């Protein structure tokens, strides 16, 4: 028995060592950590339990029969993050460039099935060169199995993709199916067709980072939710995100003890938001003043900046915040903002995270590009997401809430459980100037002094239909509140709604706008 145990120890040592020092040195030369260093950073110390470390491929073509390394280029298993179980699979670029073959795929399928069965989050550490060409169509079938499981797990367990190297071709669709995508600048790229193919087909010259780097996907395409300068920071932020998410859709997110007083007065809010609706301000500062300790995690921070989506805590409990950002495009809704917020609302609803919506929206962005780009169907995605959400929903109108954008941003009429407003709110079909130009155009045109008449009609319209208590008088706002009391009002409302239950209609699934 001792001889057998010694042999096992030798094999395990070789498994942990990987393919050898030259391959490790090459990985380090690219500024990348090894697969096990990454897992150690992600999981609590000493918690990782590996699954199938001795797995080897069975391929015999093109010289593969002579190269059968342990793990087959992917490390799979489970561990804990802040004491909670998390499953992980991580490509080892040092082995076959992390390329996916039959055995490699089977290991990933198994750990995904285990995560779904155990009801625990799944984190993929991606650093692979795509399908293993020597294994042909079996490699492609392996990707199909991953996509099928990504879809099965969607809305059931949190799925997080961490891009730590290349991800090209069909492989890029797995991250796109998951809830969150993290990327590291300079070392990670995602694209369907690489620069060489782009050059051959279109004649365009572009680098890998220019085509599918972290900044491109964080700012332009919206594929990446987070982008960081190094792997250590990236993996630390993955741990932070996991601390804000439940293990599965049957649980609530973990609550923390809160030292920030529930009744803390937000006096600073009186000066942060200008009364003049045309003056911009930074909605981030409003959020910081309201949430516990001013701490929040913004999702898609650099894409569609005219809307903010963030995870934060109120009285120690996780909430999702959707807020217009007047500093960017005056906070209007456009195609990208609608898509960004819709996906975030759906994620919150899937994982039992209450939604707080902060409104200061002048409407949808006008323009030929927006109309031809499908602002109607894209805006409808946000409308659908809110209408379909059954988690507690509270909306707060800070200043402007005009037209269809007011309705879409979780108004009472589409199912918000509680709707509050500050005394600076203006809820209307459109701004007073535009409304006066339509309603009183004949009087203005016939007046001796059209500008004076226009100003008088604008003032009259505001006094009649846009005063701060108009909506409250008609039951469309539950209360007009003192801005300094915002934090305690939101916490009290969420506490009341903590056990909210809403029955869904019997159906296979909805057919959301695309």
Q: 210 and 154 in contact (C-beta within 8 Å)?
A: no
333 vs 219: CA distance, rounded Å: 17
Structural contact between residues 242 and 121, judged by C-beta atoms closer than 8 angstroms? yes
Q: CA angle, 232 as apex, 170 and 78 as ends, to 5°?
A: 65
User: Which residue in the block uniquely carries the two structure tokens 């909805």?
Assistant: 510
State how far the Cα of 46 lies from the Cα of 80, in Å rounded to an integer: 9
**165 noted as active-site residue:** no
Of 413, 332, 404, 331, give the one whose Cα is nearest residue 365: 332
Extract the tokens encoding 330: 């005056």
Catalytic residue chosen out of the listed positions 170, 373, 374, 415: 170
What's the token pair of residue 225? Answer: 């939710």
* 472/426 Cα distance (integer angstroms): 11
Q: How many C-beta neighbours within 10 Å does residue 303 have?
A: 21
Residue 31 makes CB contacts below 8 A (sequence gap 6+) with: 186, 187
Contact 300, 345 (CB under 8 A): no
Are 174 and 147 a contacting pair, CB within 8 Å?
A: yes
Rounded Cα gap, residues 482 and 497, in angstroms: 21
Candidate list 155, 404, 415, 434, residue with the active-site label: 404
Phi and psi angles of residue 395, each rounded to the nearest 5 degrees, phi first: -115, 145
Query: Out of 131, 405, 428, 436, which one is annotated catalytic?
Result: 405
Q: In 3-state terms, what secondary structure has residue 422?
A: coil
Q: Which of 302, 261, 309 is nearest to 283 (CA)?
A: 309
Does residue 404 have an active-site annotation? yes
DSSP 8-state secondary structure symbol assigned to residue 414? G
Residue carrying structure tokens 């003043």: 289
Per 3-state DSSP, the chain is made up of helix, strand and coil in percentages (nearest 5) of 45, 20, 35
Q: Please say whether the beta carbons of 430 and 363 come within 8 A.
A: yes
Nearest by Cα to 425 from 402, 451, 405, 449: 402
Q: Which residue is listed with tokens 């939710």?
A: 225
Token reading at 357? 């919506």
Q: Among the options 97, 119, 136, 169, which is catalytic?
A: 169
Cα separation of 76 and 71, whole Å?
A: 9
Query: What residues contact residue 203 under an 8 Å CB cut-off, 6+ apart?
Result: none
Q: Residues 308, 322: contact at Cβ < 8 Å?
A: yes
Q: Work out whether strand 159-163 and strand 180-184 pair parallel, antiparallel, or are unpaired.
A: parallel
Q: Which two tokens stand for residue 168?
A: 């090209």
Catalytic residue list: 169-170, 404-405
């Amino acid at each position: 028995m001792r001889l057998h145990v010694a042999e096992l120890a030798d094999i395990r040592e070789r498994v942990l060592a990987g393919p050898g020092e030259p391959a490790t040195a090459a990985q380090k030369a690219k500024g990348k950590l090894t697969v096990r260093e990454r897992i150690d950073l992600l999981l609590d110390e000493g918690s990782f339990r590996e699954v199938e470390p001795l797995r080897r491929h069975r391929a015999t073509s093109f010289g593969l029969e002579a190269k059968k390394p342990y793990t087959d280029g992917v490390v799979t298993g489970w561990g804990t993050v802040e004491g909670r179980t998390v499953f992980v699979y991580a490509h080892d670029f040092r082995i076959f460039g992390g390329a996916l073959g039959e055995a490699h795929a089977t290991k990933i399928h198994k750990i995904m099935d285990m995560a779904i069965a155990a009801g625990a989050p799944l984190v993929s550490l991606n650093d692979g060169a795509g399908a293993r060409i020597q294994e042909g169509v079996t490699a492609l079938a392996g990707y199909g199995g991953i996509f099928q499981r990504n879809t099965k797990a969607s809305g059931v367990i949190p799925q997080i993709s961490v891009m730590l190297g290349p991800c090209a071709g069909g492989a890029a669709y797995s991250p796109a199916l998951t809830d969150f995508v993290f990327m590291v600048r300079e070392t990670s790229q995602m694209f369907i067709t690489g620069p060489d193919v782009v050059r051959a087909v279109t004649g365009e010259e572009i680098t890998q980072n220019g085509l599918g780097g972290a900044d491109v996907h964080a700012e332009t395409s919206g594929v990446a939710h987070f982008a960081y300068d190094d792997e250590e920071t990236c993996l630390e932020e993955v741990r932070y995100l996991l601390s804000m998410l439940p293990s599965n859709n049957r649980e609530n997110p973990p609550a923390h003890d809160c030292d920030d007083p529930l009744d803390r007065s937000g006096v600073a809010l009186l000066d942060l938001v200008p009364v003049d609706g045309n003056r911009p301000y930074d909605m981030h500062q409003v959020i910081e003043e309201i949430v516990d300790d001013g701490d929040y995690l913004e999702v898609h921070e650099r894409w569609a900046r005219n809307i903010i989506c963030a995870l934060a805590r109120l009285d120690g409990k996780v909430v999702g915040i959707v807020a217009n950002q007047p500093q960017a495009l005056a906070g209007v809704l456009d195609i990208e903002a609608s898509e960004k917020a819709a996906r975030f609302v759906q994620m919150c609803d899937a994982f039992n995270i209450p939604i707080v919506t902060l409104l200061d929206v002048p409407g949808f962005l006008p323009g030929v590009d927006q109309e031809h780009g499908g602002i109607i169907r894209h805006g409808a995605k946000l409308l659908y997401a809110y209408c379909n959400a059954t988690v507690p929903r509270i909306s707060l109108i800070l200043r402007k809430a005009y037209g269809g954008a007011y309705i879409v941003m979780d108004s009472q009429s589409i199912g918000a459980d509680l709707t509050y407003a500050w005394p600076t709110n203006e809820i209307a079909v459109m701004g007073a100037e535009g409304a006066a130009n339509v309603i009183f155009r004949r009087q203005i045109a016939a007046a001796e002094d059209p500008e004076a008449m226009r100003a008088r009609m604008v003032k009259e319209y505001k006094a009649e239909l846009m005063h701060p208590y108009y909506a409250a008088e008609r039951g469309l706002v539950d209360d007009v509140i003192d801005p300094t009391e915002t934090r305690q009002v939101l916490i009290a409302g969420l506490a009341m709604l903590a056990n909210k239950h809403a029955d869904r209609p019997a159906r296979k699934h909805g057919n959301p706008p695309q």
